[in-house]
Amino acid sequence: MEWGAYALIAIIVPWALNALTRSADVPAEIKLGKTWLAYRLPLKVFSIISLVFPIGGILYLISGDYESIYEPVGFILFFSLISVPLLLESFLVQIAFDDKYVYCFSPWRPNRQVPFSELGQPYYSDAMQWWVIPTKSQGYIRLQSMISGKDELLERLTLSE
């Protein structure tokens, strides 16, 4: 029966990755005169499902059926360090732009309103799998590969050169 689990994983993982990738290819939404980049439903669902692991670890900790406290605590910390940032990123990060500014809303840093005149040439970070847009005075704007609408912003940046 062990091979059945491996076969199931071999089917589910590529399907899930394909769904996440396709959801990022959706064009940006235009609301109230701004073009909004957003994480779509598949990534949000995945981020919620990822909470199963730390919650499972907490239940395991509560059960008291372990030899060392380090085992469940380590499990909880490890999976929390993965799932909580993913959850925060997928639900709280928002990026928008209009004719003059790029607006960045994030739990990681203060909200920003960056004029297009302050934006540098975007480049892709293979190591981190995201687009990086340098600014003159406000650090970097990072566009994750899984955010929809990134192509519109990148195209807008190349047109403004």
Span of 5-9, 48-52, 139-143 with lowest mean pLDDT: 5-9
Residue 128 lies in a domain: no
| Closest C-alpha among 87, 79, 82, 90 to residue 55 | 79
Residue 122 lies in a domain: no
Per-residue pLDDT, 160? 63
Q: How far is CA 112 from the centre of its chain?
A: 18
Looking up tokens 């994480």 gives 39
Per-residue pLDDT, 129? 87
Residue 144 lies in a domain: no
* CA gap 55, 61 in Å, rounded: 10
Residue 135 lies in a domain: no
Residue 77 lies in a domain: yes
pLDDT in tens, 116-135: 999 999 999 999 989 999 99
Residue 30 lies in a domain: yes
Per-residue pLDDT, 109? 93
Residue 141 lies in a domain: no
Residue 149 lies in a domain: no
**The pLDDT of residue 1 is above 60:** no
Confidence label for 25 from pLDDT (cuts 50, 70 and 90): confident
| Domains identified in the chain, total number | 1
Of all residues in the chain, the percent with pLDDT exceeding 90 is 71
Per-residue pLDDT, 57? 92
Mean pLDDT of the chain: 90
Region for 120 from its dihedrals, namely left if φ exceeds 0, alpha if ψ lies in -120 to 50, beta otherwise:
beta
Domain that holds residue 91: 2-114
pTM of the model: 0.83
**The pLDDT of residue 158 is above 90:** no
Between CA 51 and CA 80, with CA 132 as vertex, the angle to 5 degrees is 15
Per-residue pLDDT, 23? 82
